[in-house]
Structure 1
Amino acid sequence: MDYAESLREGRLLRRYQRFLADIELGAGEIITAHVPNTGSLLGCLEVGQGARLSRSSDTTRRCPYTLEQIQVGTVWVGVNTHRANALVGEALKQGAIREVSGYARHRPEVPYGQQRSRIDWLLEDQGKSICYLEVKSVTTSLEPGIGLFPDAVSQRALKHLEELRDCVVHEGARAVLLFCVQRSDIRVVRPADAIDPAYGRLLRAVMRDGVEVLAYGVEPTRTGILWGPRIDVHCP
């Protein structure tokens, strides 16, 4: 995935009201950027960390800048959760996710389930086989090489697990949860049991019921985001 133009760099001053961050650019210029992430961004919000921003051409936007990446040590972490779905869409088109390749049609944001949520990707083939694909963005790492999800207690994430299980149990369909790891220093993904133990318990339960769980890494750069290798999911 390529950005429309190279990201502008600065340093993080603070995040507040969840969706706003103050960023210092060159020559002491301070701007407010939109933060497209509902999570806590645990481990990614130290004052003074490097920040990369995209700028919208939409003149009606309150915040022309969007926070795209945060530097954690020597690694850049993609914090724009909307990029994860788009990245997976590109990978599906290119056949880069071997485990779900072979479906002729990839439809985004399709209503499904008893609670009428929207599945990130509905995969269909000519034989009418269906796969429900839910994407989750992973940004948190509290130990070297280990990515954690979620980064805060999330009722919404629990609901998505339940709906994926319903697809398998009640429809006989295929359901896949894909962790898109938006940093290049992760070798294994685990449920964040210490942060949201209910999520970890339910994840293990839906896996026993037939929901498949995958993880793939990406590498954020200043000019775009590179699709990376499959990553192990450790969920004992």
Structure 2
Amino acid sequence: MIVYELNNLRTVNVISRPSKICKSPYVADIIIEDQIIQAHAPSLGCCGLCEKDARVLVTPKKDTTKICKYTIQLSIFTENKKQNTQLIGINPKLAETIVENVLKLNLFTKLKVKSFKREVKILNSRFDFVGLDEEDNSFVLEVKNVPLADYIDCDRKERMKYNFDDKEANEKISYFPDGYRKKKTDVISPRALKHIQELHTITKTSKTKTYICYVIQRDDIKCFQPSNIDIIYKNAVKEAHQDGVQIIPLVVKWNIEGQCHFVTDELPVII
């Protein structure tokens, strides 16, 4: 089932990020019709999916007076030897919109809703969705975008020790989070950690049902797990899940026409 569509997509090459015109890491230079144009890169470099030489799909911005004329939405990931090509949603806002539509269509296996609101503040966080399920239980749902997957969940230095030629393309582990940090012991995303901790608190102190939905915008994967490279976050998810926070691994697949298809929300989760 189609759960979202992007219109007016164009396939372009990233030639630099940050832009050489605007030094913000959220701006990239792309080429359209032999012209260098600036595009909003909401996911930063996304571990190579939106860096120099990446092939990405963009949509035009409505306000053409701004420096960025386009927004980078999807990245083309290719494994030639395995004949695997994925269009991966790397704009985090896509994940929120996809989940909103899945809620409206009542496609979630674990959560059937009667009503919901967007962006509601509870405790010290603003959560993506708050509402009532079909049994009139209140619920809170937070969304995280998961564009990354690999055959092993480890840091880049450790990964270099392995060879994955014998692996099938769809044997990857999808994982969250990943990204830059000054020290290996630092939390990758303090905001993501805060969200799971506060979902945990809500679960322990009220009757509200809590969910965290990891939106995996690719289907070359066999499971999802909180990443081994951020043990603090991984342990926080494990503890929250043990106390009742439910994990929804939502898998979707994009095509070149800009259609996003629901695949499953029952992918195995490794805690």
Q: 2:155 — aligned with what?
A: none
Q: 2:25 — aligned with what?
A: 18
Per-residue deviation at 1:201? 1.2
Matching residue's letter, 2:116: H
Q: 1:106 — aligned with what?
A: 116
Decide which moves more: 224-233 or 209-218. Answer: 224-233
Distance 1:31 1:129 in 2: 49
Q: Which residue of 228, 237, 242 maps to 1:208?
A: 242
Q: 2:177 — aligned with what?
A: 150
Q: 2:5 — aligned with what?
A: 2
Per-residue deviation at 1:119? 1.1
Query: Sequence identity of aligned pairs in percent?
Result: 27
Per-residue deviation at 1:185? 1.4
Q: 1:10, 1:52 within 8 Å by CA — same for their partners in 2?
A: yes
Distance 1:191 1:2 in 2: 28
Query: Given the superposition, is the C-alpha separation of residues 19 and 220 from structure 1 closer, same or farther in structure 2, using an over 3 Å criterion?
Result: same
Q: 1:163 — aligned with what?
A: 198
Q: Which residue of 20, 28, 37 maps to 1:31?
A: 37
Q: Which residue of 86, 98, 104 maps to 1:75?
A: 86
Distance 1:187 1:199 in 2: 21
Q: 1:139, 1:182 within 8 Å by CA — same for their partners in 2?
A: yes
Per-residue deviation at 1:142? 2.5
Matching residue's letter, 1:86: T
Q: 2:100 — aligned with what?
A: 89
Decide which moves more: 15-24 or 70-79. Answer: 15-24
The higher radius of gyration belongs to: 2
Per-residue deviation at 1:128? 4.2
Query: Which consecutive unaligned segments of at least 5 residues does structure 1 have?
Result: none
Q: 1:23, 1:51 within 8 Å by CA — same for their partners in 2?
A: no
Cα offsets for 1:42-89 (capped at 9, x unmatched): 242453221100002223333120000111112111111001111001
Distance 1:157 1:52 in 2: 26
Decide which moves more: 197-206 or 220-229. Answer: 220-229
Cα offsets for 1:21-61 (capped at 9, x unmatched): 111234x22211001226x5124245322110000222333
Q: 1:59 — aligned with what?
A: 64
Q: 1:172 — aligned with what?
A: 207
**Mapping of residues 210-225 of structure 1, within 5 Å:** 210-222=244-256, 223-225=258-260
Q: 2:129 — aligned with what?
A: 121
Cα offsets for 1:164-208 (capped at 9, x unmatched): 0111101121101110011221221111112x2211111111111
Distance 2:25 2:189 in 1: 15
Distance 2:250 2:134 in 1: 27
Matching residue's letter, 1:232: P
Q: 2:110 is paired with a residue of what secondary structure?
A: helix
Q: 1:131 — aligned with what?
A: 139
Cα offsets for 1:142-168 (capped at 9, x unmatched): 324211100120111110011101111
Distance 2:42 2:262 in 1: 20
Cα offsets for 1:74-133 (capped at 9, x unmatched): 2111111001111001011111112101x21011111112x1x21111121476411111
Per-residue deviation at 1:233? 1.3
Matching residue's letter, 1:19: Y
Query: Given the superposition, is the C-alpha separation of residues 119 and 183 from structure 1 closer, same or farther in structure 2, using an over 3 Å criterion?
Result: same
Matching residue's letter, 1:214: I
Matching residue's letter, 1:212: Q
